Amino acid sequence: MKKTFLLCLSCFIGCFYGCTKGELDRINTDPTKSTPENFDPNFLLPTAQLKFANKGYYQLLYQSTMMQLLSSTYYYYNNGDKYINVANFTDYQGRIFDEGYAEASGIREMQRLAREKDPNAYKNLINIGDIVFVMILQRITDTYGDVPYHQAGKAREGIKYPVYDTQEDIYNSMLTDLETAIKNLDPAAPGVTADLFYKGDLTKWRKFGYSLMLRIAMRLTKVDPEKARIWAEKAAAGGTFTDNNDNTFISMDASSFNSQNGTSLALRTLSDYREVRWSKTLIDQLRNTADPRLSVIGEIPAEGFANNNNQNLSGNPDPLIQKGLPNGYDLLGGTTDIRNHPEYPGGTGNGTDLAPLGKYSRPRTSVYLKLGGPVFLMTYGETELLLAEAAVRNWKVKGSATEHFSNGVKAALQSLAQVDPQANITMEKVNAYVKAQKLDQSSTEKSLEMINMQYWISTGTTFNFIEAWLNWKRSGYPRLTPVNYPGNVTNGTIPRRMIYLSTEILNNPDQYKAAVSRLPGGDALTSRVWWDQ
């Protein structure tokens, strides 16, 4: 009897304990939190997309002024405007490396979770992940040269010191990986959610993939023109962008803006707004060709210095009065002081004018100075211009060089309305400009110059300065006169790359040193990456 009682008591206590433990687990589990079982890998895609797009500030410090699209006299922008490594700012040169690999790791983690949960259900997400991974890695390798590719984002697999692949190997892999991913997109499989680019539209993703393939192929025109031809023709046959509705951009949310969430364009603070101007190189080009973009991108502060300090006061957009600020000048009172420039507008000419930048064209405030606008990554106009170049090179693409060039110029003008409706250019002005800018095919060189000049303007006026720089390195157009400011670190030449992330020499020393040894000139701004030889 005693044994029976103890047995029953033991069972009761066991059952009570088990029920209580289960109840406690339920009570202590936050139903709003994700778990490995209920987490949706789709949620990681927009994070990578947003962070990839959020490079406006670094472009402002370097590529915008290096490419003589923007200009500034303020010392903060001397890095790009005058090729001077301003103290404590060189760290920004490594941000594309540092943040790029964080984005790439997020994509690889997304794919890992998707494969673990259900590779068939997440088939399209996995393949879109490969496309985005290639997009991220192209920017990284084009900026620095040899970088990790095959072992990138694999820390979870125990790879702490990823191998720096050669850029040639990276390009071979990007092209084949991209082709595979595009072909594996499956309309019959479940769709992708939370996609900031195309809302899961696989038709647009396919066109994006082939447009990216074209961009990658064209980077090879100097170093391997035959491979460039093969892949450019493959991209054209696959089907690239067909109109501005295919443009790749992210519209930022001003209500939730902070330095981590992203910014619509490079200008995001009052100091940037006060100190940055359109470059004389760009404004002169637009004026000399009667480009209608001049009337929508720039303005002169109507009330001088007072307006220059008030971001809520618009300026005068009259194209006849726009004046670009020359690159390479300062406000230090010497020969490089902009107030002593022979063409300084309406000043004393003795370096004593107190409102110098109010006399030059700034990016139009109602168009560019906002936190809720778009960040452009790739456009139909740019793609058409690359197809025009392919046609000039007598590669097999549908349509003539003239047709693609006209399409590209027209699309570039019309895409400004996506930056802001106030930048809309009437069809009458668009058509008149396109007609006046008929492609000059008297020589291959002249055609290439016209095509890549338009590419420079298009990427510059949509604030895609990194792409403007990369295509300039590849094409050599426009022919820019470098700044030779006292104390510059490039011997008066425009930088060809950024320096690696400074911590790499500590975190991955052997691979870093091997990569640097393969760079002609070492880890310097003047060294050239493989395809830029």
The C-alpha angle 197, 417, 461, rounded to 5 degrees, equals 85
Q: What are the pLDDT digits (tens) for 331-388?
A: 898 999 998 888 888 554 444 454 678 789 999 988 887 777 889 999 999 999 999 9
Amino acid (1-letter code) at residue 74: Y
Query: Torsion over CA of 134, 137, 138 and 143, rounded to 10 degrees?
Result: 170
Task: Provide the pLDDT confidence category of residue 260 given band limits of 50, 70 and 90.
Answer: very low
What b/e string do you get for 312-329 counting C-beta neighbours within 10 Å, with b at 16 or more?
A: eebbebebeebbbbbbbb
pLDDT digits (tens, 9 = 90+) for 179-227: 999 999 999 999 999 999 999 999 999 999 999 999 999 999 999 999 9
Look at the chain and count its residues.
Answer: 533
Helix 380-392 and helix 401-419: axis angle, to 10°? 160
Q: How would you label 430-444 residue by residue, b for 16+ Cβ within 10 Å and e otherwise?
A: beebbeebebeeeee
Query: HEC profile for 337-349?
Result: EHHHCCCCCCCCC
Lowest mean pLDDT among 36-50, 185-199, 260-274, 331-345: 260-274
Is residue 459 predicted with pLDDT exceeding 80?
yes
Q: What is the C-alpha separation between 466 and 482, in angstroms, rounded?
A: 18
The three-state DSSP-derived secondary structure of 31-52 is CCCCCCCCCCHHHHHHHHHHHH
Q: E strands within 279-411?
A: 298-299, 362-363, 374-378
Which pair of tokens denotes residue 309? Answer: 């300090």
State percent of the chain over pLDDT 70: 84
Residue 462 pLDDT: 95
Cβ atoms of residues 313 and 108 within 8 Å: no
Q: Return the SS3 of 300.
A: strand
Contact in structure between 93 and 59 (CB atoms under 8 Å): no
Q: Which range has the worst mean pLDDT, 30-39, 114-123, 183-192, 375-384?
A: 30-39
299 Cβ partners below 8 Å, 6+ apart?
A: 314, 315, 316, 317, 322, 361, 362, 364, 365
HEC profile of 197-256? CCCCCHHHHHHHHHHHHHHHHHCCCCCCHHHHHHHHHHHHHHCCCCCHHHCEEEECCHHH
Question: Please, what is the average pLDDT of the chain?
Answer: 88
**What separation in angstroms does the CA of 189 have from each of 199, 245, 471, 498?**
15, 24, 36, 41
Return the SS3 of 360. Answer: coil
Which stretches of 309-400 are DSSP H helices? Answer: 365-368, 380-392
Q: CB neighbours of 173 closer than 8 A, spacing ≥ 6?
A: 149, 150, 165
Amino acid 507: pLDDT = 93
Q: What is the pTM (predicted TM-score) of this model?
A: 0.91
62-95: pLDDT as tens digits:
999 999 999 999 888 899 999 998 766 677 889 9
What is the C-alpha end-to-end distance of the chain, expressed in Å? Answer: 94
Cβ neighbour number for residue 58 with a 10 Å cutoff: 22
pLDDT band at 496 (very low <50, low <70, confident <90, very high): very high
pLDDT at 277: 93
426-440 residue pLDDT tens: 999 999 999 999 999
Q: For position 163, what pLDDT does the model report? A: 97
Residue 157: band (very low, low, confident or very high) from pLDDT cuts 50, 70, 90: confident
pLDDT of residue 2: 45
- Picking from 236, 210, 289, 239, the residue whose alpha carbon sits closest to that of residue 400 is 236
Whether 329 contacts 344, CB under 8 Å? no
Residue 279 is classified by DSSP as B
